[in-house]
Structure 1
């Protein structure tokens, strides 16, 4: 069995839904197809949540009316048979009416999840019915019936597998099963989400649960590129990545992948393919345990970084000082991305500033704290890149970059540098020129 995931752009128009259909029927392998909401819909639903919190009935109605029209316009162009088209439009209107009733209730976290995952519900309902009208056999299955996480939002693969098998057994056998990305149930069995971009994660969780032969992530680009094509010209797709390389790139900003995507499939060695919906024959990127070559592979960047410097003479030779600092961040559930230390100072970075005021206030009781926002982490990734014979050339290049902090040696697979966000794009372009173009023969 294969798992295929299609993102919001891939399912974002009538034309694109036909492209997805062609991909699904291009081979006879059994498939579970994970779909995101249409592009732009989840953002609209985020706004709807805000209106619910404000109890703005007029804005709620207006928002849902636009959402209904958007999906009905798709159905009008997608379904040729008048009776089938009207039936499907009636179904959409019923779903919208249900959501309107929910939206006028008191806000809860479960209501938030129901609203945010509504786009996936609508899209899969339309797409499954569309496939049926053109005689592509499929079954629509609800992800909320089998996707579940524990109390720290980690998937229980065995539990997912057991629940999913029950769902599949309860349905007529089919070559194609359609389901929703993003949605899950938490440890209390309440509806929840895998956070934004979580449909990739849904696909690999399902892949691990059914021991899939492969997982395909379909987007609007030819695999994962060696730099960010939004800012850098002349980037190229990477043919092969290890799980470790892919995880580093995803965590440090590669938008094509959810940061946790590869974690469920590493131990099972299920390959993950990154493919282009708009050019299905393009090779894309294969992620697996195999190391095809070591050394530099790619560069990614993560924005929204806050740098914190903690300075205190008490730190000098003080046993347990670092532990004391880390406990403050841990108490506020705030992860640290980068860290460097000296005899009397610690420099570190975070990307979640929800509790920054509380953290600073607590640490200021025994140290001087300086906070600088608007930074970016640039991550240079490759299997054993630190041990690469050409790594000294990278450090020579860094002399020309306004580096604020560097993390080197914590992993053999990446070197991370901190720059001010205003310097991010010039740095990405400079690194691309010096590492992938001018010195291509030396570092690749």
Structure 2
């Protein structure tokens, strides 16, 4: 004996009905039962018709006519000539429906008993159509009225089944039709008086399970529109995949927490009899689906699935008067039970100071009233607080038999959520360890489920979402490098880097699925503008997992957005020096927020492009070393200029060459004034532990004051006019056998920057091209410094430094 249940989508059209019948016929190696739902959407339509009729809304007639036309269309398509018995059957059923609806309209009332009668027509219609077509195809099909098979009590809307009577009725029908294909309407039954009842939404699965249990079927198959239970909701997680085999207990946990392919009570009758339950896809019958068993083969998977339910509220009962006093929990649950309010989740602190329960959000107000009334005396006396509901929540649960006695699962769960700024409002875990449930904001569900699916199921790669500000010289080179390295990062590091947004001062290009890094320049030019504040809010509102802001600008306003993003656990990778060289309190706050919200704040390129200067300094201080002195050339621009200026060409011409080759800031005066180097040594001093301000940095200028007056054009003009000054600086150094270097020094809490004559044998003497160098003198490196040296300027090099910071942030 096999029982096959077909859901609403499986019988939603004539084509789907034929597919379902073919599946049942192919399975008929012995007695077969087909349990069918109403045509997809029919039950909701019938409920709407009934409610409209009860409120004297005559529009119900038009909706009823539309529903009849839909069923007639299916019936006519199923008939060979369009005039078969199916059409007459549909018209007869709808005539009964009209009489019932007209009565509801006349009375202006829709009782639960009448609503059950009204809803039953969906399954009655679909099952009669299926039975008629199956018989016309020559199958030994018989329509079996579920109201004569499923005996229930009179609790309309969600009737309880009398299993003993139901089994006798099913056995009797089986004795009369031992070899036939039964076609049975799901969802409905009847009480002892023969009055139609329903088994609750999703009750067609339950009908199939009841029949399978009564007949001791060797398998129950649930045919739906997905290929089994999934590791997560595929509407939320694109990479969700079917679970091949699962235990009854795991399936119950997943179905309770929102796995929509299975109605939770379905499992009870078949589980009691040890009957396997197979979830299959009507539209991909070759797919294996999910087989639910008593003891499936053990697998290496610790977690079987991730599930979620929304529309949740938490009710917190708190008060010192609860501590050590028995009976509070009993009274709380009794008060909720009297209002027929289902408790979804329970947790209590070990101090007994509070009890927290989760309920469906629509039940929040009646629950609050009921509990406050129950504890009115204690509330008035101040022994407990009035109930505090918190709405807009959801549950995300990990489910798996193998989680039992497997350490680290909770830690991995909380760590993955915490790293993405998802706050856990409550958590619960049963002693069986099959389920770990967390309560979070409903707005975070998509992000949370994707984060957890990535952590527990995906070996292919961690998805990282980048929001890029400033696609200029450095930004465009960075995007080129990202495009070139995407496959390598996925294969070697398990990172799936996606650029979700690119913005400049005029345009903002956004695609949550990831931008095409080969076509973005043209697309950005056509994109609309987006103010910086709105760009920041876009990052927060998209709420994507593993989000990183990449700031490749020099915009103070962009730096001003970092705190808001770090507070949302969005990592920040900054090429922009403004944030770390502004007032110390702002810098310290960003560092603190990064630590508090577990969001990376990385800015290696603030000092030496791709050179690991800050990283090396951090390694020294984290390991307990103390930096006593630093000596550095931190401007690739100035090193390039003084390495190329020998008096044969004007100084202004060499500076212009540096700008053309991309070594300077957009405004070269920042480099040559020494202010950019001052920012860099300030950042290093702060990272070494000094609470310094920019005003503490002594800048020794080498430019005549006139060079810094006016605009960039005037700057070049004045440098040309003061060529004799620059030649004199060069000649003096050459005469002394030395070379000019613009040097930053830090020692004993003080810092200076300025042009120096460096003698032969000094570590800075042979510094060539655009190279930077830093000498760290520490408690461990006393006489011989730790040296970090290499290219310190250029768009390509700087972009690679930003790229490296992105990788660091992504891998944390």
**Band of TM-score, shorter chain:** over 0.9
Counterpart for residue 372 of structure 1: 390
Return the offset for 1:299. Answer: 0.5
| Cα separation, 1, equivalents of 2:193 and 2:371 | 33
| Cα separation, 1, equivalents of 2:195 and 2:93 | 20
Structure 1 residues 86-108: Cα deviation after superposition (integer angstroms, max 9, x where no partner): x3212211111111111122433
Contact between 2:190 and 2:196, CA under 8 Å: does it hold in 1? yes
Contact between 1:307 and 1:347, CA under 8 Å: does it hold in 2? yes
1:337 aligns to what SS in structure 2?
strand
Counterpart for residue 37 of structure 1: 38
| Cα separation, 1, equivalents of 2:249 and 2:152 | 23
Structure 1 residues 313 and 439, CA gap change in structure 2 (3 angstroms): farther
TM-score (structure 1 length as normaliser): 0.93
Contact between 1:386 and 1:409, CA under 8 Å: does it hold in 2? no
Counterpart for residue 402 of structure 1: 423
Structure 1 residue ranges, 4+ long, deviating more than 6 angstroms after superposition:
none
Is 1:201 paired with 2:206? yes
Counterpart for residue 98 of structure 1: 96
Counterpart for residue 167 of structure 1: 173
Return the offset for 1:399. Answer: 3.2
Counterpart for residue 330 of structure 1: 337
2:401 aligns to what SS in structure 1?
coil
Is 1:421 paired with 2:419? no
Counterpart for residue 134 of structure 2: 131
User: How large is the RMSD of aligned CA atoms in angstroms?
Assistant: 2.0
Counterpart for residue 81 of structure 1: 81
* 1:112-191 matched pairs, under 5 angstroms: 112-150=115-153, 153-170=159-176, 172-186=177-191, 189-191=194-196
The structure with the larger Rg is 2
Return the offset for 1:397. Answer: 2.7
Contact between 1:60 and 1:100, CA under 8 Å: does it hold in 2? no
| Cα separation, 2, equivalents of 1:68 and 1:325 | 48
1:125 aligns to what SS in structure 2?
helix
Find 1:345's aligned residue among 345, 354, 363: 354
Structure 1 residues 81 and 137, CA gap change in structure 2 (3 angstroms): farther
| Cα separation, 2, equivalents of 1:168 and 1:63 | 39
Counterpart for residue 269 of structure 1: 274
Is 1:393 paired with 2:396? no
Return the offset for 1:209. Answer: 0.8
> 184-193 vs 293-302, which deviates more?
184-193
The unaligned stretches of length 5 or more in structure 2 are 379-383, 462-812
Structure 1 residues 284 and 302, CA gap change in structure 2 (3 angstroms): same
> 185-194 vs 370-379, which deviates more?
185-194
* 1:280-291 matched pairs, under 5 angstroms: 280-291=285-296
TM-score (structure 2 length as normaliser): 0.52
Counterpart for residue 60 of structure 2: 60
| Cα separation, 2, equivalents of 1:188 and 1:90 | 29
| Cα separation, 1, equivalents of 2:423 and 2:360 | 20
Structure 1 residues 347 and 53, CA gap change in structure 2 (3 angstroms): same
| Cα separation, 2, equivalents of 1:59 and 1:395 | 51
| Cα separation, 2, equivalents of 1:187 and 1:2 | 28
| Cα separation, 2, equivalents of 1:204 and 1:242 | 16
2:10 aligns to what SS in structure 1?
coil
| Cα separation, 2, equivalents of 1:349 and 1:30 | 44
> 6-15 vs 59-68, which deviates more?
59-68
Return the offset for 1:370. Answer: 0.8
Is 1:16 paired with 2:16? yes
Contact between 1:386 and 1:414, CA under 8 Å: does it hold in 2? no
Larger RCO: Structure 1 or Structure 2 (Cα < 8 Å, ≥ 6 residues apart)?
1
1:437 aligns to what SS in structure 2?
coil
1:113 aligns to what SS in structure 2?
helix
The unaligned stretches of length 5 or more in structure 1 are none
| Cα separation, 2, equivalents of 1:166 and 1:55 | 44
Structure 1 residues 331-383: Cα deviation after superposition (integer angstroms, max 9, x where no partner): 22222221222332111101264432432432451332111112111111001
| Cα separation, 1, equivalents of 2:192 and 2:88 | 35
Is 1:244 paired with 2:255? no
Alignment length (residue pairs): 436
| Cα separation, 1, equivalents of 2:140 and 2:16 | 19
Return the offset for 1:293. Answer: 2.2
Contact between 1:378 and 1:417, CA under 8 Å: does it hold in 2? yes
Counterpart for residue 791 of structure 2: none
